[in-house]
Structure 1
Amino acid sequence: MTYRYDADLVEAAALFDAFDLTDPEATRARLREFSAARPAPDTTGVEVTDLEIPGPPDNPLVPVRIYRPADSDGILPAVLNLHGGGFVFGVIPNDDPTCLDIVRRVDAVVVSVGYRLAPEHPYPAAAEDCYAALAWLAAHADDLGVDAGRIAVHGTSAGGGLSAAVALMARDRGGPALAFQYLELPELDDRQDSLSMRRLTDTPGWNAPNARTSWRHYLGERAGGDDVPVYAAPARAKDLSGLPPAYVVAVEFDPCRDEAVAYAQNLYAAEVPVELHVFPGAYHLAFLVPTAEVTRRRTEERAAVLRRALHG
């Protein structure tokens, strides 16, 4: 199909050939090569610490990377960051630029989680790893110089879906309390029956066939069936009451667009404060184009939204 991409994004679209979710290890190797070729991130003014923390009971340790403003010795809010990658790809360093930006612009501690990946580790591995990281962050707030009453969860794509899942888990398990959820391009619905999912089959980098394969890796034969838990696919949740305030980001040419919009509407219906921003002319990977105006707008808005949520 022909799409009306934003002028800043037209040229870059050709560079984003679709991820091959049918061969996860080969694509992971390719992404590692791409990451290794990038210059090391500028960590000036930010203390960066790598740890392994307890995971879910009887499961492996979970790697986390902690980012803290180097010139701050007070108590700060915190952001739990969950990377994207269709539940199949992604490692902590991929989100270094995002986490460093949030630390500097928001004045917050960021804890980025290296959760287990499908298909080797299907649901509930990723969701439980992320929840374990939230529980650890809250329990160690004093050690980290964090205000346990001001913790937000933040994620993009699969990380956005996991962020929504963690918010549901925290509500249903009696904590830790979350102050905010930032859901960017969230992957929320394994049923794949939205208009955007039916139409957007060949968008650059991420499209409907990839989304379907992603869910099969994560859920196996359960994907699209009747017994998928809400913590796996938060769009299935019937009750969203009592969740923390939310900011939901969607883009026009993303197969996940409609499920993000619907989730925001359902939050509204449950009387959860929510702000929804749908960026026109953009595709799922558009925010990887740093020179695009839409990326700059998103980045400024993300910082403003998190500052307002965490600093009042």
Structure 2
Amino acid sequence: MASEHLPSLDFDPELSAILPLLPLPKGLTVEMLPALRQATSQATHAESTIAGRPIRHREIDIDGPNGKITLSILEKIDSTIQKNRPGFYYIHGGGRILGNRFSGLETVLEWVEKLDAVCISVEYRLAPEFQGTSAVEECYKGLEWIGEKFDQLGIDPAKLMIAGQSSGGGLAAGIALLTRDRKGPLLSAQLLMCPQLDDQNNTVSSRQFLHRGIWNGKDNALGWQCVLGGSNEVSPYLSPSRATDLTGLPPAYIDVGSAEVFRDEDVKYATRLWESGVQTELHVWSGGYHVFDMMAPSSELARKAIAARTAWVVKLLS
């Protein structure tokens, strides 16, 4: 079915008015990636992320499959390290080709403040320079490190939640599968914000938004091409929609806009989690485009989405 023949969904009016004002690249190409990454590193870093917040930041390098991996550790300035704090392991978005460990981190820092929690964010290597399961294995190394340092970090092992946004949500879902299968550190929950879960990119929503919105179907195809490099063998840890067994996973929260590429694959994954006996909360926000809560946090729809997500996190971890 051609995208032109599909009925269209409108964006939320308030979000639609904001969309033209956003500094988004048009017609994303591989050649554009270096400049976009440089712009991100200049605008999104530790200082800009924690500015005005009672948050302190430190970082550590650990050994990984491709060399050193940098982890950022963030907690309240006045926090005293105890052994019963909640912990968040955060994986950033960017289509697996853009972004850094501070991208979208403001969402998690709200919970760090609210729950006196600690957040660890991982700087995984991007495609197309590093393809296949490279990012998955690097993110898993970070989780293993956390599992070895629960006491030093002051994290209650029963209160460690993995969280990811967009491609980071897809990686978070993959890591949840991987740590189950390798019997690695147990996760109390998986928070998947508009996650990128399916490399096949052939759902109705991917065609409805082939050219529209933030991270459209064309962008998504480019991202997966960069990650897979033409390979037909796709690991379920890389593309969780391909997993045949979703049993034994931690409770999940999935939210997504109704007017974005990932809508259908996210709804399908939530349904499969329910079928596998995994408690899952799903929200499809009417008229929301991709990462609308990050791009327009003061909009009415974003406030509702953020409040619902926060309520779920607090319920599980407080």
TM class by shorter chain equals over 0.9
Give the equivalent residue in structure 1 for 2:134: 125
**C-alpha distance in structure 1 between counterparts of 2:18 and 2:211, whole Å:** 15
- The more displaced of 21-30 and 228-237 is 21-30
Given that 1:203 and 1:253 are in contact with CA atoms closer than 8 Å, whether structure 2 keeps it comes out as no
Task: Provide Cα deviations, 1:13-71, integer angstroms capped at 9, x if missing partner.
Answer: 113434624321122233345448x9563354222112112224xx3111111111233
AA aligned opposite 1:129? E
| AA partner of residue 68 (structure 2) | L
Q: Distance in 1 between matches of 2:138 and 2:131?
A: 12
Unaligned regions of 5+ residues in structure 1, if any?
Answer: none
TM-score, scaled relative to structure 1: 0.92
Structure 1 249/91 Cα, relative in aligned 2: closer, same or farther at 3 Å?
Answer: same
1:150 equivalent in structure 2: 159
Q: Equivalent residue of 2:272, what SS?
A: helix
Q: Is 1:250 equivalent to 2:259 in the alignment? A: no
Identical positions, percent:
34
Say which of 280, 285, 305 aligns to 2:312.
305
Q: What is the alpha-carbon distance in structure 2 between the residues aligned to residue 69 and residue 117 of structure 1?
A: 29
Q: What is the match of residue 289 of structure 2?
A: 283
DSSP-derived class of the 1:67 partner = strand
- 1:173 corresponds to which residue? 182
Match of 2:19 in 1: 13
Q: How far apart, CA to CA, are the structure 2 residues paired with 1:5 and 1:197?
A: 15
Letter in 2 for 1:22: V
Indicate if the aligned counterparts of 1:21 and 1:27 stay in contact, CA closer than 8 A: no
2-structure distance, mates of 1:270, 1:132? 27
CA distance in 2, matches of 1:210, 1:34: 22
Q: Which residue of 2 aligns with 1:70?
A: 77
Is contact 2:256-2:288 (8 Å) kept?
Answer: no
1:91 maps onto 2:76 in alignment: no
Computed over aligned residues only, the root mean square deviation of the Cα atoms, in angstroms, reads 1.9
Structure 1's 193 and 149: CA in aligned 2 closer, same or farther, altered over 3 A?
same
CA distance in 2, matches of 1:235, 1:118: 20
1:48 maps to amino acid: H
Q: 1:220 maps to what in 2?
A: 229
The answer as to 2:299 corresponding to 1:292 is yes
Q: Which residue does the alignment assign to 1:205?
A: 214
